[in-house]
Structure 1
Amino acid sequence: MVTDTGGIDDKSFNASAWAGLQAAKTQASNVDPKYVASSAEADYEPNLRTFVTQKCNFTLAVGGLMIDATKKIASENASAQFGIVDGVVAGQSNVYPMQFATDEAAFLAGYLAAGYSKSKKVATFGGMKLPTVAIFMDGFVDGVAYYNKQKNANVQVLGWDKAKQAGSFTDDFASPAKGKALANTLVAQGADVILPVAGGTGLGAAEVAQGSGGKVSIVWVDQDGCKSAAQYCDVFLTTVVKNITDAVEKAVVAGATGQPLAATPGYLGTLENNGVSLAPYNNFDSKIDATLKTEVDTLKADIVSGKVKVESTNAPK
């Protein structure tokens, strides 16, 4: 596995993928997982090539930023099997894509945040302006808008304008300091629930929430925050789970047992197949109104059935 620049211990994206490889090891005796961390985008190609040179059977690229590098290395090594999280490498039959409709789960989080907020201002920010980041923000904004429509309310979202596709970004997935600075700005503007879509950078927002005396809470992403970043569990309202771990585990086990990994259609995680979800409310379970919990459950069923449409220009194609 080649990590994105957030590193193996980002408590989020890369960590989820690595957990999938570790899980695959317990399911297939011939799985021997290794990883190399990328410090910068310039590392992607040499890191991918390292595993080809080692004749690895399956090389996983973690993140849409690696599409170009993966395409180059995969095209040069047509007999090798690759996989990529959050991307599709067009024209390469030897690259298995794993994508996620995170807007569906983020829609639920937006509705929950709107219903839970006392200040009636919630916020989101991203690590970098990428489709795989903005899709969370799109779903979150639409979930808040749906709450406002259903309740004739006026909860505001700071940090993201879906129509303009413009908002707040730290341009970093591994800087808690930048996340803390941006979160402080959003809190100063009145936000009391924040969704950071920024890997390790988002831990800075969790730190701000911990210092707020219970006034600010965080919606984490990718892995259930109470498991991946347990020291901040007391501020995690919930997590928009992107089940990278299961997707990677299944792909690796399939490959290890001789099953073909088809580039088309690949894998798409949705609410329906549990590829995306909301994590348990953990420490907030008793703090969230029972009616709001029921409404979120109903909304999930309505999204799965198609009664409620979730749409994002950043959704996997």
Structure 2
Amino acid sequence: MTISRTKKLVGVTAAAGLLIALAGCGTAPEASPSASESEGPVAVEGFTPCLVSDDGGFNDKSFNQSALEGMERAAEELGVEPIEVESASANDYAPNLENLIAEGCTFIVSVGFKLSADTIASATANPDVSYAIIDDWADADADGTTDADNIKPLMFDTVQAAYLGGYAAAAWSAEQGVNKVGTFGGIPIPPVTIFMDGFIDGVAKYNEDKGGSVETFGWDVEAQDGSFTGGFAANDTAKQTAQSILDQGVDVILPVGGPIYQSAGEAIADAGSDTVMIGVDSDLAVTDPSVADIVLFSIMKRIDMAVYEATMQAATGEFDTTPYVGTLENEGVGLSGFGVFESELPEGLEDELAALQEQIISGELEVTSPSSP
């Protein structure tokens, strides 16, 4: 439960976009000069942006790390000093938020739905502080409205990008002659299952369009039931869960839940298989080069840009709590490039994915999930 100021993070994500340059939530802002320069952005006096992670920590190569990158980019451009605090467990959430208030934070970003109850409590008790929360509506009473007027939900319709990912995975597996792909998650919650829904439905789309027979393992969309590790830690349970999917003979696997990709990578290595992996949230081949040789692509949600833009807005003193939803259209979600596998793709796949994306954006193709925001 340690508060630290302005930690520098190595390796800012610079994903090469497959279908579109995933520049951010809406049109990507141009890089701005620092606040010390005459024409740079200027924060209101006393503006102090703050960030609290969930128990995955800032070095998860995914969810929390992306949020940190967005916060630090905004703080650097504004010329202010952010306060960032990691949570080691759920027991740290409330004390960390209390400590951030005591430190004088004027804008606090909570990373993940697991901080929802404590964020609502903190925001209710501190109405003059602005808050944002990732992957949660902050609606504990389920009445359709955020429970505190000073919280901005940062949501992502990840099913759209995951649908493209499922189609691409099916095309890859069919090209290899395997015709089997699988997925597993950390915890069966909407920010996880939305990836799995889109992935399985995307495989079905490939089969429909191509007369394919690619099988899926690990998730049943209709039953909303599948394989989960029970948490997001990279541990023996996660490795065993990954192995149970690999045992089905898949050659593409999608682990959904931050660090659990590490366990999937270990299971692939131990099996000595040619199975490739799909990353989530950030471009995994960039954030963790140690697995780049087995990452086919990543299904991305631009948490970094959502946090960056919310922070820049809060810095003006005119914070808008209207919920943000990242989509393919506003470039808040999408696919990364195919990295080392670019030259091995099935012929025409990238054009097919681009066409599917346009159909989703136009509404011609409806892609949704029970977990869609």
Q: TM-score scaled by structure 2? A: 0.81
Q: Where in structure 2 are the equivalents of 1:238-317 lying within 5 Å?
A: 238-258=297-317, 260-264=318-322, 266-316=323-373
Query: How many Å apart are 1:257 and its aligned residue?
Result: 2.9
Q: After TM superposition, give the deviation of residue 78 of structure 1 in Å.
A: 0.8
Alignment partners' CA distance in 2, 1:276 and 1:173: 21
Question: Considering only aligned residues, what root-mean-square deviation do their CA atoms show, in Å?
Answer: 1.3
Paired residues of 2:313 and 2:320 also in contact (CA < 8 A)? no
Q: Please give the alpha-carbon distance, in whole angstroms, between the structure 2 residues aligned to 1:103 and 1:187.
A: 23
Mapped partners of 2:96, 2:170: distance in 1 = 42
Indicate yes or no: 2:59 matched with 1:20. Answer: no
Aligned twin of 2:161: 105
1:92 aligns with 2:148: yes
Shift of residue 176 of structure 1?
4.2
Task: Give the unaligned 5+ runs of structure 1.
Answer: none
Q: How does 1:1-317 map to 2 (within 5 A)?
A: 1-30=51-80, 32-89=81-138, 90-117=146-173, 118=176, 119-211=178-270, 213=272, 215-258=274-317, 260-264=318-322, 266-316=323-373
* Aligned amino acid, residue 287 of structure 1: E
One-letter code of the match for 1:192? D
**For residue 263 of structure 1, what is the amino acid of its counterpart?**
T
Aligned length: 313
**Unpaired runs of 5+ in structure 2?**
1-50, 139-145
- What CA distance in whole angstroms lies between the structure 2 residues aligned with 1:193 and 1:28? 42
* Offset of residue 2 of structure 1: 1.1
SS at match of 2:300: strand
Q: Is the 8 Å Cα contact of residues 176 and 205 (structure 1) preserved in structure 2?
A: no
Q: Give secondary structure in 2 for the equivalent of 1:169.
A: coil
TM-score by length of 1: 0.95
- Percent sequence identity is 39
Higher mean alpha-carbon deviation, 297-306 vs 134-143, is at: 297-306
Q: What per-residue deviation string (whole Å, max 9, x for no partner) do you get for residues 135-184 of structure 1?
A: 00010011011111111222111110011110011112122433322222
The structure with the largest helix share of the pair is 1
- Alpha-carbon separation, structure 1, partners of 2:148 and 2:347: 48
Task: Write the distance in 2 (CA, Å) between the matches of 1:293 and 1:304.
Answer: 17
Provide the rounded CA distance (Å) in 2 between the counterparts of 1:208 and 1:227: 21
Structure of larger gyration radius: 2
Give me the whole-angstrom Cα distance separating, in 2, the residues matched to 1:177 and 1:36: 27
Classify 1:98/1:291 alpha carbon distance in 2 versus 1 (closer, same or farther; 3 Å): same
CA distance in structure 2 between the aligned counterparts of 1:28 and 1:290, rounded to whole angstroms = 46
* Counterpart AA for 1:11: K
Once the two structures are TM-superposed, the CA of residue 210 in structure 1 deviates from its matched residue by 4.3
Superimposed CA distance per residue, residues 226-247 of structure 1 (whole angstroms, 9 cap, x where no aligned partner) = 1111110011110001100011
Distance 2:235 2:165 in 1: 22
Following superposition, the deviation at residue 262 of structure 1 comes to: 2.2
Whole-Å separation in 1 of the counterparts to 2:201 and 2:352:
16
Q: Secondary structure at the match of 2:231?
A: coil
In structure 2, distance between residues paired with 1:185 and 1:219: 17
